[in-house]
Structure 1
Amino acid sequence: MSCGISMVKYILFIFNLLCSICGILLIVFGALLFSNIHSIDDFAEAVRNQQVPITMIVLGAVILLISWFGCCGAIRESYCMSMTYSILLFVLMIGQLALVIYMWVHKEQYLKLMGDVVEKAWERRTRRADYMDAIQISMECCGRSSYADYSYQGFFPPSCCKDTNNCRSDTVYRRGCKGAFVDFWDRNSDIIKYSGLVIAAIEFVGFVFACCLANSIRNYRRRADY
């Protein structure tokens, strides 16, 4: 093979080796998160809690599988594995672009879904307050619409203040969590979309490299047979 194709081979191998490590880490973290989920009385709530670690494990397995084909195809100079890797990477790229386009077109629906997350956490606060507390701490907000949502109970939860030991009406966060949560995702949705496009572009470069390598392997073997 030419020097250029040999360089492409090793670039693909290193790239997919790093992706394999990322896939393994996703599987490990997903498995640890899954094992740490405690028993929950509400079955539907338990299923929802398990969706995140299961998604991490499945995504890690997919990345690991695709990267394995890429590594083996590059280092073993296998035409079949290189083409399989190209096809899988192309399918992954198309799926990712479809997701980005969906977020772009259905942005309002997506933001409404984020608002529903706060609504459900607020409705469940009497059974499990940790979801609402986590949102209030991370978003620096209080209540569903505003801090006044807690006026009926005469005190504010510690998660509504920076100073958790001294949470009073004059130190409480004024903003409601639904507005804060939706605004957060509204601000970051463009970052997610453009990051998805950049990753898809990198995947496209990997797809082109893999196709070039597979074509070079096929031509090299054809010439060797003569």
Structure 2
Amino acid sequence: MSCGISMVKYILFIFNLLCSICGILLIVFGGLLFSNIHNIDDLRTQQVPITMIVLGTVILLISWFGCCGAIRESYCMSTTYSILLFVLMIGQLALVIYMWLQKDKYLVIMGDVVEKAWERRTRRADYMDAIQISMECCGRTNFSDYSFQGYFPPSCCKDTNNCRPDTVYRRGCKAAFVEFWDRNSDIIKYAGLVIAAIEFVGFVFACCLANSIRNYRRRADY
């Protein structure tokens, strides 16, 4: 192969390493999100971190597939890789656009999660306790929501064995929960755009490499 195509091959290899790192970061960030909310038994709160972990795993696998195709100079593997990367990029952009357009609606849903947990606390307090422990908050609006019962649940304090008015968490859980998702949704969106841009560059290089491999083999047959 020519020097230019060899350079494309190694550039594609480096891009796939970058995509692999992005995939690992998605898995780590999704895992951190999930660790904060895994005690909250509501699928709506868990679908974002689970999606990030799955997406990161898929990116990691496809990236290693692309690395092998580039190093081995395989037309079949390079073509398959470019198709998979294009499909992944489109799906990822669709997810980012959805989160961008539906952010306010999603934040309302997250607020409703706290409302329902608060309403069900008399029958099943573990939902509200899980939110209070994860978000370090107390009550639906603030800690005064528990004033009617004369004491605070242990989940409202860091020291669960000594929960007093002077040690209780001050902020309410609804505001804390919505703020948590508002902050992290922006990180997810911009990270998704950066990863999609890297994937697009990798897609272009993969197509160039696959086309060059095919032309090289055709000339070698004559």
Deviation of 1:104 (Å): 1.4
Does 1 or 2 have the higher relative contact order (CA < 8 Å, sep 6+)?
2
Mind listing any 5+ residue stretches in structure 2 that lack a counterpart? none
Per-residue Cα deviation, 1:172-196 (whole angstroms, up to 9, x for no partner):
2232111121123223332221111
Shift of residue 58 of structure 1?
4.7
In structure 2, the CA distance between the partners of 1:52 and 1:108, relative to structure 1 (3 Å rule), is closer
Q: 1:156 aligned to 2:148?
A: no
Say whether the 8 Å CA contact 2:15–2:198 is kept in structure 1. no
1:89-120 deviations in whole A, cap 9, x for unaligned? 11111111111111111221111122123234
Q: Which moved more, 1:55-64 or 1:212-221?
A: 55-64
Q: 1:33 to 1:102 in 2, by over 3 A?
A: closer
The share of aligned pairs that are identical, in percent, is: 90
Q: 1:157 and 1:4, CA in 2 relative to 1: closer, same or farther beyond 3 A? A: farther
Pair 1:188–1:5, CA change in 2 (3 A):
same
Task: Name structure 1 gaps, 5 residues minimum.
Answer: none
Name the stretch that deviates more: 216-225 or 12-21. Answer: 12-21
Name the CA shift for 1:186/1:18 in 2 (closer, same or farther; >3 Å): closer
CA deviations on 1:113-141 (whole Å, 9 max, x unpaired) are 22123234334445654443343234332
CA RMSD of aligned residues (A): 4.5
2:121 is aligned to 125
- Say if 1:114 and 1:38 are closer, same or farther in 2 by CA, change over 3 A: closer
Taking structure 1 as the reference length, the TM-score comes to: 0.75
Deviations 1:145-178 (A, max 9, x none): 2222222332112222344343222332232111
Preserved contact between residue 40 and residue 127 of structure 2 (Cα < 8 Å): no
